[in-house]
Amino acid sequence: MRLFGIETEYGITRDDVPEMDPVVESMELVRAHLVASFERRWDYAGEDPHEDARGFRVSGLQQDREEDEFAQRDAHRPFSFHDMKSDLVLPNGARFYNDHTHPEYSTPECRTLRDLVAQDRAGERIVHRAALRRNKALGGAHVRLYKNNTDFHGHSYGCHDNYLVPRAVPFAALVTGMVPFLVSRQVVAGAGKVGTEAQESQYVPGGYQISQRADFMEAELGVDTMHNRPILNTRDEPHADRQKYRRLHLIIGDANMCEYATALKVGTTQLVLDLIAREAVPDLELEQPVAAVKQFSRDPNLKAVVKRKNGRTIAAVDIQTQYYESARRTLSGLDEESDWVLKEWSETLQLLMEDRQQLVGKLDWITKQWLLETFMREERIDWGDPWLASLDLEYHNVDPETGLYMGLEGERKVWRLTSDEVIEEAIRNGPADTRGGLRGLCIQRFPDQIQSIQWEQVQFACGLRSHTLDMRDFFDPQEVVRCVGIFKVAQSPADALAVWTHRKDGSV
């Protein structure tokens, strides 16, 4: 059963003050989305990032220490930590909140790539429109938002892709099967980057690499997300029935502007998960995966090779090709979407080696490289010119008036899976066949009666009693559609839950 989603932390700047307070500015941006005043409803009791999929519980995370430091540092602020987060659940079922120094948009759960890309693009427009309202209050176009992963000062913020995985699949099999794929996935999903940097060092201009996130990968496995960042995150926080499911939470990915890259990033990853479940992945274990991430990223010519555990060497495109071949043999004909991913995956890998110009407007790192090289020729500068870092940043600006990628989209020079109409619909409604869409419907119909809300449940306050919509095991699309139909016509949450409970019990 397929279900996936994307969390995107946006870079934020403000140009009318000598020093921007990113905590306040991110909070104000999120709250600018609101017409009414903010009310706390997100239930943090459902969040526990300390469980490790390797079978133990960590006593503390770097983020715990940082949050304690933030609490001390922010003690002067006239709001609590949770008020600062300003968690909102939107009418499309997405979550929009302040991740302390970055506004973050998490898509609702999606079952198809078309829905996922639409919901991801909806996030761009939602955060941009919040910025417009914030700027109106400030009296000028001062706040800017970037869908990228680095500030070019040694800090990285994430774009995390998440997948529902059966608990029956051993975690060790996920590690063996996923790590080589994730190390090499950047040739399809990288966002491109001028220069190099890392958490412990400053930005070094010069050169071009495939991935923005590669510089910040420090471990093969780990539960942390802010320090010692791992290729494969081991957080065991399923937001579902723990006995049946786990959530694969990947933090290695770049934030993509190209719809094609987003679709391939998630589509190919889902196919590899299907291969792992069928015990059909190729044996490609790498000797030093963390080093390989950086080696592959820093060679946009795609000639770099890394050592495998069997002593042989292999290039990134060859790793991807072996995964593709296994998927073609095992998964061809599975469904229409899988066949589309297989076709596009194959063509993309071939074009990477033969005619990458055809991938302009489809893959971000190639599109950005083409833009920058065109600019360099016109201005007669080289990769060491600091001008290029600012252009790199502007590629990710979500403002359609100024963003470089947005300009290409306006000129119809990029590949589209969505349309403007589809994106606007995704802003209004979540997928009708997932609990994300149902969560959004609850926000649309009964906002004043929601007492608390999280990914897996909605608690309604109905008079003197509370009623809970439990969605921990709610993944069958037909059941979701039936429940959505009930909530659409019910006069109250209590009525909807009563009808739904009787239907499940076979009483009606």
* pLDDT tens-digit map of 35-51: 888 888 998 887 766 67
Which pair of tokens denotes residue 482? 């039936």
Whose CA is closest to 62, among 224, 194, 170, 205? 224
435 versus 57: the higher-pLDDT residue is 435
Query: For the segment 411-446, what is each residue's pLDDT rounded down to a tens digit?
Result: 999 999 999 999 999 999 999 999 999 999 999 999
In this predicted structure, which of 201-205, 317-321, 366-370, 488-492 has the lowest mean pLDDT?
A: 201-205
- pLDDT at res. 61: 59
The ranges assigned to domains in the chain are 4-423, 434-505
Between 67-76, 147-156, 164-173, 433-442, the lowest mean confidence (pLDDT) is in: 67-76
Q: What is the CA radius of gyration of the chain?
A: 22
Establish whether 335 is a catalytic residue. Answer: no
- Structural fold of domain 4-423: Creatine Kinase; Chain A, domain 2 (3.30.590)
* Number of Cα atoms under 13 Å in the Cβ half of residue 29: 33
CA 336 to chain centre: 24
Rounded distance between C-alpha atoms, residue 484 and residue 492, angstroms: 13
Name the pLDDT band for 203 (thresholds 50, 70, 90): confident
Residue 123: what pLDDT? 98
Q: Which of 43, 74, 83, 99 is catalytic?
A: 99
Q: What is the phi-psi region of residue 100: left when phi exceeds 0, alpha when psi lies from -120 to 50, beta otherwise? A: left
- pLDDT digits 0-9 by tens, 314-340: 999 999 999 999 999 999 999 999 999
Predicted TM-score of the model (pTM): 0.94
- Look at residue 508 in the predicted model and tell me its pLDDT: 42
Of 226 and 358, which is predicted with more confidence?
358
pLDDT at position 165: 97
Percent of the chain's residues with pLDDT above 70: 92
Residue type, 134: R
Which tens digits make up the pLDDT trace of 83-105? Answer: 888 999 999 999 999 998 999 99
Q: Are 450 and 443 in contact (CB under 8 A)?
A: yes
Across 470-506, b (16+ Cβ under 10 Å) vs e yields ebbebbeeebbeebbebbeebeebbebbebbeeeeee
Q: 154: buried, middle or exposed (CB in 10 Å: 19+, 13-18, 0-12)?
A: middle
Contacts 24+ apart (CB under 8 A), 201-206: 201/154, 202/153, 202/154, 203/152, 203/153, 203/154, 203/389, 205/383, 205/384, 205/385, 205/386, 205/388, 205/389, 206/383, 206/384
Burial 283-293 (b: 16+ CB within 10 A, else e): ebebeebbebb
Residue 2, classed as helix, strand or coil, is: coil
